[in-house]
Amino acid sequence: MGILNVTLDSFSDGGRYARYDDAIAHARSLVADGADIIDVGGESTRPGAARVEVHEEQRRVIPVIRELAALGFRISIDTMNAATAFAAVEAGADIVNDVSGGLADPNMAQVVVDTDATYIAMHWRGHSDTMNSRAVYGDAVAEVKAELFQRVAELVVQGVDPDRLVIDPGLGFAKRAEHNWQLLGHLAELSEIGLPVLVAASRKRFLGALLPEEAGVGERDPATAVISALSAQAGAWGVRVHDVATTRAALDVWDAWQKGSRA
């Protein structure tokens, strides 16, 4: 899943693809590099980010989604807003990637039911302005797993088809570095919920701690690619990344390794 931030304030590439032509060109590049899905987002969810009005979010993403759909690309809409999710699916998206897991907007589950979209529900404890204070766990793996299971159960009760659900442990969202590593190290346990798992670690702050202090955000891509390969080994459904080419190379190596082990 290649990330296309049509935003002004995303932590990694805010503003680079805010213009329509730049967004389309970058999406083409991501697909050429090996992306299977383009994840289009119009609102930053980095820690401390301000919320964006729904009409502004849609102004940013809907024209881009229409054009990418016309090009035949598979598209995901990264949004917490039910109205934006609905408009995006109408424009050609077939996946709704909701970092709040339906908690930010009570109408989201009904949109998923009405549109038959695949729905990615992330583990979430609150909006960007409060999530750091909520990063308190006795056992991060057990608690995230339990909270995701509860969220899935509530979505199913609201009519969402479990066959169209994907879960995301929410790395970096109400998580400190040690929580992120614990979740990655026990990724197979999250799969015990019985649903596909998306891993979204790309360029996040906890990876920066592995690098020299002066390293830029883009220098986290090799670490992201290693996580992508290890996530594939652990059975992940997908990985969401900024630098598709490096992760695609890592996944190709992992795939060849797997084939070699079966020869």
Structure tokens at 23: 């967004």
Measured between alpha carbons, how far is residue 174 from residues 139, 147, 184, 255 in Å? Answer: 14, 13, 15, 33
- Tell me which of 151, 175, 204, 248 is the catalytic residue: 204
What CA–CA distance (Å, rounded) separates 182 from 17? 33
DSSP letter at 31 equals: H
Q: Could you confirm whether 175 is annotated as catalytic? A: no
Helices (H), 19-139: 20-32, 54-70, 82-91, 108-115
Q: Could you confirm whether 66 is annotated as catalytic? A: no
- Contact (Cβ atoms closer than 8 angstroms) between residue 41 and residue 7: yes
- Tell me which of 60, 125, 240, 248 is the catalytic residue: 240
DSSP letter at 191 equals: G
Active site amino acids: 204, 240
